[in-house]
């Protein structure tokens, strides 16, 4: 399976926030660990971490951070695991759409590190240590886009 290749970036001087949903906490803690590893490897140590109850609440936290200003990117982490009802689709769609709206409205890189999995096994595979950790991917994407936005703006 092909995976995205992210640039190794120097993030020194960047201000990054991470929003983590507590629901499915074992999974989201793994995502947070992966994201923090990537951010620290890039030279970012002053990282604001905001915890919210679940993935549905991630967009309002991201919106509030964006309105406050002073950030180069927001990394959003959560886990939505399919159950027997359509609730999975409502939560994952609302979260995805909400984060897209925040990013476009504010011109702020918002990375989508919200796992949408068919089952707990898939979610654990995507939140464990190693390259498949979606928290790592989300942090790397946020760094790359923060650098790209700075480049485009000429700052």
Q: Which positions are annotated as active-site residues?
A: 87
Is residue 139 within 8 Å of 38, Cβ to Cβ? yes
Show Cβ contacts of residue 48 under 8 Å, excluding neighbours closer than 6 positions.
15, 16, 17, 18, 65, 71
Angle between helices 87-106 and 58-68 (to 10 degrees): 10
Q: Is 112 annotated as a binding-site member? A: yes
| Adjacency order of strands within the sheet including 73-81 | 47-52, 16-21, 73-81, 110-117
Does the annotation place 85 within a ligand binding site?
yes
The three-class DSSP label of residue 61 is: helix
103 annotated to bind ligand = no
Q: Which residue has the tokens 């654990």?
A: 124
Q: Under DSSP, is residue 106 helix (H, G, I), strand (E, B) or coil?
A: helix
79 is in an annotated binding site: yes
Q: Is 102 annotated as belonging to a binding site?
A: no
Instruction: Consult the annotation and say whether 88 binds a ligand.
Output: no
Residue 23 labelled as part of a binding site: yes
Which residue, among 21, 4, 3, 8, has the nearest Cα to 143 in the 3D structure?
8
- The annotated binding site for (2S)-2-hydroxy-3-oxobutyl phosphate is made up of 84-85, 126
- The annotated binding site for 5-amino-6-(D-ribitylamino)uracil is made up of 23, 55-57, 79-81, 112
- The annotated binding site is made up of 23, 55-57, 79-81, 84-85, 112, 126
């Amino acid at each position: 399976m092909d995976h995205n290749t992210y640039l190794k970036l120097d993030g020194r001087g960047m201000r990054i926030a991470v929003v983590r949903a507590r629901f499915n906490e074992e999974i989201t803690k793994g995502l947070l660990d992966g994201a923090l590893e990537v951010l620290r490897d890039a030279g970012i140590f002053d990282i604001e971490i905001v915890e919210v109850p679940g993935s549905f609440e991630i967009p309002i936290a991201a919106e509030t951070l964006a309105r406050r200003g002073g950030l180069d990117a927001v990394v959003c982490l959560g886990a939505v695991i399919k159950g027997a009802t359509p609730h999975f689709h409502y939560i994952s769609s609302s979260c995805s759409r909400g984060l897209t709206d925040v990013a476009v409205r504010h011109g702020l890189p918002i990375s989508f590190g919200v796992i949408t999995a068919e089952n707990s096994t898939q979610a654990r595979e995507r939140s464990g240590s190693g390259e498949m950790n979606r928290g790592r991917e989300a942090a790397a994407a946020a760094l790359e886009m923060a650098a790209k936005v700075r480049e485009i703006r000429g700052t």
